[in-house]
Amino acid sequence: MPKKVSARPASPTSKPFWIGFDLGGTKMLACVLDENYQVLGTARKSTQGSQGAAKGIKRIVATIQEAIQTAGVDPANLKGIGIGCPGTVNSAKGILIHAPNLGWNKVSLGPTLSKTLGCPVIILNDVDAGTYGEYTLGAGRGSRSLLGVFPGTGLGAGFVYDGRIVQGRNVSCMELGNLWLPGTHLGSEKPGAVLLEDLTSRLGIASAASVECYRGKAPALELKTGAALKEMKSKALTTSYKAGEPGTVAVFDNSLHFLGMGIAMVVNLLGPDHITLGGGLVEEMPALYLKKLREHVAHYAMPEIFLGVKFSVAKLGGNAVAIGSVAWLRNQPS
């Protein structure tokens, strides 16, 4: 009787894979993911959104093809693409409705890429994708409902309830940064009201800190950045805060207070059992954000709803959007 030959393990090039794509305002990132969400290869390009959507789509395709080549996988085994977009989307139809940081409007992104690359394509708001990634594979695993809050250049949020991203019928939602609050500043679009994003984002914090530099209340920050807004990255701002510069400390403390108020609104409306925090500022000062936001949310939320809410720092880092968008694609009913 002939000796039985054991089947050889499948070559990495013959295994199925997915592309997770993070379409950012300044850069785009393609991640090749295997069935266990391990990253096999990546590619990055600048977005150059001002050149228009048509050229942008060509750059997306080129970035995906480069990532596939880097990973050494067979393009024929591409099972699908998930894309996180910076703006409002119609996920069901694959339309990027409005991306202010790109200047793109009503772009049929999903269908166009699906036709070009010959596989299913799903698009999500980028923060929805990041929150879903944390829900399925990151800090929020095991939660029933997860609120993801990401203060970055703007302020983004996503909400997952019982495994489903909270969305409107035809458009993504959870635009926490676009809550209007009483108050104003000179750049406000609506006198007498101010966006929560303008009070809590890195851009908002940097703008206020720049003024404090001129007032002499953040000398180390001024020395580091020249009080130039574009130079005030997360690390420079948090270094100034940790040094106890009075201007920066006041700006951060006020910002965290307002962010706590905004999160408390979501807590009172939707009752998450877990809140995870991400973004550059949180990564630089995780202990501060966890402590202060827990205190401020507790102050403004209804005690019986807030009781037992868990806080955490996001775990997936720069790959959260790519992983979350693919996880959402793979978990859709077939």
The answer to whether 156 touches 150, Cβ cutoff 8 Å, is yes
Residue ranges per domain, the chain?
15-126+319-330, 139-314
pLDDT for residue 26: 87
From first to last of the 334 residues of the chain, give the pLDDT tens digit.
Answer: 444 433 444 455 679 999 999 999 889 999 999 999 999 999 999 999 999 999 999 999 999 999 999 999 999 999 999 999 999 999 999 999 999 889 999 999 999 999 999 999 999 999 999 999 999 999 999 999 999 999 988 999 999 999 999 999 999 999 999 999 998 888 888 889 999 999 999 999 999 999 999 999 999 999 999 999 999 999 999 999 999 999 999 999 999 999 999 999 999 999 999 999 999 999 999 999 999 999 999 999 999 999 999 999 999 999 999 999 999 999 998 7
Cβ density class 301-316: b for 16+ within 10 Å, e for less: beeeebeebebbbbeb
Is 15-126+319-330's fold the same as 139-314's?
Answer: yes
pLDDT for residue 109: 97
H helix intervals, the chain: 53-71, 109-117, 126-137, 196-200, 202-214, 219-225, 234-242, 246-270, 280-284, 286-300, 303-306, 320-330
- Please spell the DSSP secondary structure of 131-165, one letter per residue: HHHHHHHSTTTT-SEEEEEEESSSEEEEEEETTEE
Name the superfamily (CATH) of residues 15-126+319-330: ATPase, nucleotide binding domain (3.30.420.40)
pLDDT for residue 13: 63
Distance between terminal CA atoms of the chain? 44
Q: Which residues pair with 157 in a beta bridge?
A: 149
Domain range 139-314, CATH class: alpha beta
Q: What tokens were used for 66?
A: 């480069």
Query: Which residue type is seen at 316?
Result: L
